[in-house]
Structure 1
């Protein structure tokens, strides 16, 4: 036996009698695929890839003793690999052995890996702390995917394969909202990348850092109308804070650094386009890049004059109220300290729900369309608003008539929709501490805690009344669902909320303590809730993850339940199924239109969950809500409680 024969790695390609005379088939052998042929009682194995355009020779036919490529009709000898088109098209051959248990093919030992451009990009990603990727592998991102596979094998990266790229972008957006750090989403050329756009617009609108990576067609055919050839730089121009094409001569690590740095500092989308052939170019000497020496301390204090003006306004106020948005998420301790010095109520925007416990004596819940009458009452009696990290959306309900001190780290957020009395540029936590340190309080300032407690008493009595109402037709009210969830949701849970009537009910009725709440705030994209739970689980796998969705939103990404099962994600899904897009029905009635095309034909979602390997239980009786949710929370893996709710109760 020759030395070369001994150095071959032998792989069982197929069973002993699985090929008929004159048949050719594709067989995986190690990392390769071969076209295995049986002809005149003998077996031949040649490389499966036609050198013309990569056609799969094993899917061809055997005609006149030759394998005919199924794509373009090129002919190849099944034993020698010789091509009818001449030696430039010859393909490699591999030795074959017929053994008692099957047909074996020998392949050379894999060559040592030569570091590629994709390796440089992935090493730079992970050096910056981007170690989580949601995506779909396909034909125009395989080089980058292989580099990610190597990183995953080395333990420096986690990859979650999703069922739709839109879910990947929503998951990455939720990850960024929860942590303040980017995860990556990953797609192929053309539709794989355009599918990312809605989730990336959610990240842009809510100022969440995300890294988006697009495979692309080979540079030689780009711009010529080739298969899946679109101008991805143009497609991503509006959604991205930074977007660039990685070319053969680029400083590859620096482009990745630029994408991540823009995502972090501008709290948005950094995007790279990766042409197919560039992904696999050798780059053995190129260094990776990292954040050392590149990132400033962003905890910037306010200008002296703006701080003095804010302190003057506070000193004149007898009923100041504090409003916090999602931009204050990381700095609530400093804001609460200031509120307690002033005995000032704290109201949150809907996006900021959960940033202060509703049990706190100054907490008033959510302001605006999804809010509580406690918050609106206290704001309407205020003589000064102190607004931290909120940007005055038309849905937030922040009064335009009350003198306002607004604090934000982004100068474009200050007075975004209308002038404010005192715009203060500075880090929320640093500025809140500076205000507390320099605080001068009006002698007649009101301790508003008793009034906050009184308003909560009134509102909780009204909520109890609504909980007690039994809707007709074997359904339960949304108020009853959130009444039970109030007592069951773990305090350290991350809760992801979709868009629809259930979200309005969640804003009104659920009273958070220490839960983190994630939603599609400014974009308001239906379908966010369940993919966001995938991202939240990846960001915080040791915390309970609770997704709250409606049937309309979950229906858009229901296949992602298989993703949750595949990766054993401990997600509890509370699905309020009312059989229609009930919020839109309400809006049609409000405009005196006919209710039209808002009904939904739904499966039994709980049965679907069970079919996919998750826990699933359907609830139609209010008495069963608590036990079903408790069981789902205790289930070690994906679990769904489908609750049949009344579209008229919210």
Structure 2
């Protein structure tokens, strides 16, 4: 039988000197190309003993020496010297010197054999996962190749990150913005453990994420092998569901279970892929799985008794207030219509910032430590709180002494920290619609809109006074976020960090139709810029993407600014630089400790952006703010606006 040969040009005629060896690639084959005694040889690049790369070896005394353990081979025939076992001989390939270079002949590659990871990648796509943030490495190569095939078909977008933690935050932000899962890809060991902070962020903020981690070969599990880590144990606290892919698994069904858990539980799912399983051929005609017939609509109606109790409370309320959290973000049109029916001010948690416009007649801004005095005033003056999709964290400061109706899709969230008057289990839009129907014509509440306008006027006058503050030590926060309010698009996505810069954003930035992303319950420093990467992947072609952090937060994942440059991510990062961990300094003073180890040594971040291939501009005076922001927002690609800020004027 004749085997067809395909020829590949691998080197120029004079490229490889006499007595030298180098690695070349022909098709998908890695080959050690040798030049010895005026002849060229082409040998399998993999040493049969430990897999050493022979192209990285050297020719010594007429023999090619493996760089890993010193085994010798003839550089032209691939045979070991003397009487050594010919079973150790290397495979060789025909070589031709032609007028335009050196050519190697290889058998025509056989068609790709579908693998179990192909089945699983196809299943991911069927479930609507379109984005993977990750790093390709030696223990996930088979899985990565399956993802590559989906990407080449236009069914999947892979974004190669510089740090796995950034990829985890990006996936979490993508899920928070869209409600749909994104995936992360890492190697075993340190790659997988680097995901954990971002996975915890997704878990506690109820964002569906799929973690795909490589693992060492099954045969060496438990032996302390290089980069071996008990990933089942490592992810046991963070993953709502975790599974190891085995040779006899139902591979499509396993992926379906993972994605289904992520979506329905709004949580993290995790799959572990031992190295050798990733390239195992799938059984012939094995179908990929899909969500068809696997998932139910989630519009849960409330129990009749709870609904009746809520209606009774609302019928007698004269000054009801609605408090919305991040959990209400996909139901706000119905919530605002309900608020207008009740004449009820709408306050948001910090995680819910922007879910109602600050210029809406009923919008009162953020409640709590990152909030406005408007929101806290109306909560204190209310006679009933209607809490929709919000927790009762101490950061938000919802007063437990008020009569309270709480609505949530998760029954465990109801009355979690203290008893509430009426806990209502149900999907928000369904509950709100049923309340509106039942209360039509039965509302006795007063119209609080004039008071809301009055309170906004008082607060805006106070903000203008703060904009005038100047100690000569940097720009005040009120001015920074007033300029952002003027310049950022009304429907932008804004990813924020933690620290004083974030408190000031919550307090001073006035939202219209922007979406705000943050590391809410975890409160992790460094979220902002990776979060913007996730937002760009989800909405970058239709919405302006902005991130805000301090210098400490940006420093956590600043290497991934290069990722943004690589993929042309149109992200404007507003970097509030006060050369310290300002919030920690403030806490040390408040606790009557010495301020210690909070100062930061920074580069010129604007120059850093330019060096990476993006746009950077540094702002040193309030008068420069608007023009600098406009210039960065107009730049088509990643940009940094570095603002030298006063650490005290927050």
Same fold at TM > 0.5: yes
| C-alpha separation in 1, matches of 2:88 and 2:177 | 53
Conservation of the 8 A alpha-carbon contact between 2:240 and 2:268: yes
| C-alpha separation in 2, matches of 1:182 and 1:83 | 53
CA deviation map 1:386-444 (0-9, x unaligned): 00000111111100110110000001110111111100000011101111111167775
Q: Residue 210 of structure 1 aligns with which residue?
A: 209
Measured after TM superposition, the shift of residue 231 of structure 1 is 0.5
Conservation of the 8 A alpha-carbon contact between 1:314 and 1:440: no
Q: Residue 61 of structure 1 aligns with which residue?
A: 58
SS in structure 1 opposite 2:506?
Answer: helix
| C-alpha separation in 2, matches of 1:575 and 1:530 | 10
| C-alpha separation in 1, matches of 2:48 and 2:407 | 62
Q: Residue 398 of structure 1 aligns with which residue?
A: 398
| C-alpha separation in 1, matches of 2:89 and 2:186 | 33
| C-alpha separation in 1, matches of 2:208 and 2:316 | 39
Aligned pairs (5 A) from 1:166-177: 166-177=165-176
Conservation of the 8 A alpha-carbon contact between 2:551 and 2:577: yes
Measured after TM superposition, the shift of residue 101 of structure 1 is 3.3
SS in structure 1 opposite 2:239?
Answer: coil
Conservation of the 8 A alpha-carbon contact between 2:236 and 2:242: yes
Does 1:13 pair with 2:10?
yes
Q: Residue 288 of structure 2 aligns with which residue?
A: 288
Conservation of the 8 A alpha-carbon contact between 1:499 and 1:553: yes
| C-alpha separation in 1, matches of 2:590 and 2:530 | 31
Q: Residue 465 of structure 2 aligns with which residue?
A: 465
| C-alpha separation in 2, matches of 1:53 and 1:272 | 29
| C-alpha separation in 1, matches of 2:159 and 2:121 | 15
| C-alpha separation in 2, matches of 1:428 and 1:321 | 16
Q: Residue 517 of structure 1 aligns with which residue?
A: 516
Q: Residue 506 of structure 1 aligns with which residue?
A: 505
Measured after TM superposition, the shift of residue 177 of structure 1 is 0.1
SS in structure 2 opposite 1:58?
Answer: helix
Aligned pairs (5 A) from 1:40-189: 40-83=37-80, 86-189=85-188
Conservation of the 8 A alpha-carbon contact between 1:302 and 1:425: yes
Q: Residue 369 of structure 2 aligns with which residue?
A: 369
Q: Residue 481 of structure 2 aligns with which residue?
A: 482
Aligned pairs (5 A) from 1:273-312: 273-283=272-282, 284-312=284-312
Q: Residue 340 of structure 1 aligns with which residue?
A: 340
| C-alpha separation in 2, matches of 1:374 and 1:393 | 19
Q: Unpaired segments of 5 or more residues in structure 2?
A: none
CA deviation map 1:127-158 (0-9, x unaligned): 00001000000000000111111111111111
| C-alpha separation in 1, matches of 2:8 and 2:611 | 36
| C-alpha separation in 2, matches of 1:559 and 1:165 | 11
| C-alpha separation in 2, matches of 1:174 and 1:222 | 33
Aligned pairs (5 A) from 1:345-494: 345-439=345-439, 445-473=445-473, 475-494=474-493
Does 1:200 pair with 2:211?
no
Conservation of the 8 A alpha-carbon contact between 1:311 and 1:440: no
SS in structure 2 opposite 1:559?
Answer: helix
Q: Give the TM-score normalised by structure 1.
A: 0.97
Q: Residue 318 of structure 1 aligns with which residue?
A: 318
| C-alpha separation in 2, matches of 1:442 and 1:27 | 80
Measured after TM superposition, the shift of residue 470 of structure 1 is 2.1
Measured after TM superposition, the shift of residue 285 of structure 1 is 2.7
Q: Residue 618 of structure 2 aligns with which residue?
A: 618
Conservation of the 8 A alpha-carbon contact between 1:316 and 1:442: no
Conservation of the 8 A alpha-carbon contact between 1:357 and 1:514: yes
CA deviation map 1:165-217 (0-9, x unaligned): 00000000000000000010110000000000000000001000001000110
CA deviation map 1:494-538 (0-9, x unaligned): 110011111000000001000010000000000000001110000
SS in structure 2 opposite 1:450?
Answer: helix
Conservation of the 8 A alpha-carbon contact between 1:315 and 1:441: no
| C-alpha separation in 1, matches of 2:338 and 2:493 | 26
Q: Give the TM-score normalised by structure 2.
A: 0.97
| C-alpha separation in 2, matches of 1:245 and 1:186 | 15
| C-alpha separation in 2, matches of 1:86 and 1:276 | 30
Conservation of the 8 A alpha-carbon contact between 1:318 and 1:442: no
CA RMSD in angstroms comes to: 1.4
| C-alpha separation in 2, matches of 1:196 and 1:134 | 11
Measured after TM superposition, the shift of residue 53 of structure 1 is 2.7
CA deviation map 1:337-391 (0-9, x unaligned): 1111110000000000010000101110000000000000000011110000001
Gap change, CA 1:43 and 1:272, over 3 Å in 2: same
